[in-house]
Structure formats: structure tokens, C-alpha cells
Amino acid sequence: MVWNQKVSPKTIARLSLYRRLLINSVEQADRIYSHELARRAGVSAAQVRRDIMSLGYSGTPNTGYEVRALVDNISDHIDAPQGQQAALIGVGNLGQALLSYFSSGKGTRLKIIAAFDTASTKTGGVLYGCRCYRIEEITRIVRQEGITVGIIAVPAEAAQETAYQLVAAGVTGILNFAPTPLKVPPYVYIENMDIAIALETVAFFARQQTDEEGI
């Protein structure tokens, strides 16, 4: 079994971005045109129209798209109908920032319902509405709650073992913030978010731009 390769991860990412932008503007206007959404998302209007057409939803040249209906269509396409549950491993500064963000809802049906850490000062309590468990309880809680998504925010040396635990417990999607690539079975979808690499890439191109402009 492998993930649905007919759907591009980049398409899903753009649809998620469109939804966030639409939710933020829903109080300002009932309708939006493709060129307006494209400007906010940093893509072309043609790309917006193609992505929205893939949902089976369409607007009109004269009136554009109805904002609330488009949000609902995107949600129906990228979210599980009954919602989907995630586990966070690592409740340091980054982990707590993620818990804070997802506790607000933000229009997504994905919820972090369990957090895990090795620090006894953090386990046994509730952070941003999410109960924090001992790391040894990953298998039991993930299986008990039917969790399919894991978020790894632990030090690099603990990341691979954490991934093994999540996969063994039944997780089939992992978002990895640890600064190391992870090995997972082919049926597990993984996204690596290496902040250090991203920052170094930004710094490199910032320096190139500075050199070109002679600043």
C-alpha cells in the first residue's frame, strides 16, 4: 500500500494555503476572484483556477468564487470527513508552539490529541488543551485513540527510534522537525521540515541578492 500518488503534495499544500487565506478574509467579503486569491498566495491566477477545478468546484468570471463554499469544498477534499487525529512527540519550545497553533482550530479538522515527552515536569498534565503522556506510552495511546499522524519534534539522536515507535503503533504519516532524515516503510508518508537547512538556504540567497545589488 502507498499513498495516493495521483494527488501532488504541492497541490495539497496550495489548497491548504488557499483555505487559510480564505478563512482569514471570510469576514471581509462573500466572494473572491482567482486573481485576488493568487496575489495573496503568491501563485498565478491560472494555477488557482486549475487547483480549484480539481475540486469539482467552479466560479464565474463575473462573480468569482463564493468564499465559504470554497472553504468547505477544500476542507472536504483535503480533510478526513470525521476529522483526523495526530500525536506530537517532543514538547519543547517548538512542540508547544505547535500545540498553541492547533489548539485554536484554524479551520482544519486535524487535531493534536496527545503529546509525549521524556520530562516528568511536562507529562501527566495538559498543555493547550492536549494531554501530555510519558514517551513509553506512545504505542498504547496511538492505538487506543486511532491516531494516524505523528509529529516528531525531538532531538536528532532520538528521532529515528521515535519514528520506529510511531510506525509500529500504526501511524502512516509523519511530519519530522528533527534535523536528520528518517527511514520509514514505503507505505508511510513523511515530510521533513529541517529548519536549519531552510534557514541556511534563505541566508545563501539573501547573500547572493546583497552581492548582486552591491549593498
Assess whether pLDDT exceeds 70 at residue 213: no
How many angstroms from the chain centroid is the CA of residue 25? 20
203: CB partners within 8 A, 6+ apart: none
Can you tell me the distance from the alpha carbon of 175 to that of 163, in angstroms, rounded to the nearest whole number? 10
- The 3-state DSSP class for residue 123 equals coil
Can you tell me the distance from the alpha carbon of 150 to that of 164, in angstroms, rounded to the nearest whole number? 11
Give the confidence band of 4 by pLDDT, cuts at 50, 70, 90: very low
Q: Is the pLDDT higher at 61 or at 137?
A: 137
Q: Where are the domains of the chain?
A: 9-78, 84-197
- pLDDT score of 97: 94
- pLDDT score of 16: 92
- The 3-state DSSP class for residue 149 equals strand
Of 85-99, 102-116, 158-172, the least confident: 102-116
Can you tell me the distance from the alpha carbon of 131 to that of 116, in angstroms, rounded to the nearest whole number? 8
The model's pLDDT over 8-65, given as tens digits with 9 standing for 90+, comes to 889 999 999 999 999 887 667 899 999 999 999 999 999 999 999 999 888 888 889 9
The percent of residues in the chain predicted with pLDDT above 70, rounded, is 92
What is the second-level CATH architecture of the domain 84-197?
3-Layer(aba) Sandwich (3.40)
Q: Tell me, which fold does domain 9-78 have in CATH?
A: Arc Repressor Mutant, subunit A (1.10.10)
